[in-house]
Homo-oligomer: A and B are copies of this chain.
């Protein structure tokens, strides 16, 4: 359960960079080498290597080096935990706002009743 939080830390951090999200998108289409990705995102090989390492660390990408080229593809982790976390908290959000909605409704009804009482 300690790992769970650390995992969310690293995954969300990995997703918090526009380049890395772009790489995931790219790899969703087709596998690619470091050079491919570096060129696509206007970056040095070294820079792209770092991004790929971070994604790999988070389990979102897996790589294999054959000959001199390292091929990157989508990894085993499918963001289940992250999706679950977000969904769970969206429900909390909704619960809170539904409560607010109900309060508003309650106040509306009360206001109406008060107005009627006044009229009497």
- A74 CB-CB contact with B under 8 Å: yes
- A116 CB-CB contact with B under 8 Å: no
**How many protomers of this protein does the assembly include?**
2
A9 contact set on B, CB distance < 8 A: 16-18
Q: Which of A72-96 contact B (CB under 8 A)?
A: 73-74, 78-80, 82-83, 85-87, 89-90, 92-96
CA distance A25 to B85 in the complex (A): 10
Decide if the interface of chain A is mainly helix, strand, loop or mixed: helix
Contact B28 A92 (CB under 8 A): yes
Q: Mark A16-46, 1 if CB is under 8 A from B, else 0.
A: 1110010011001000000000000000000
Contact A16 B21 (CB under 8 A): no
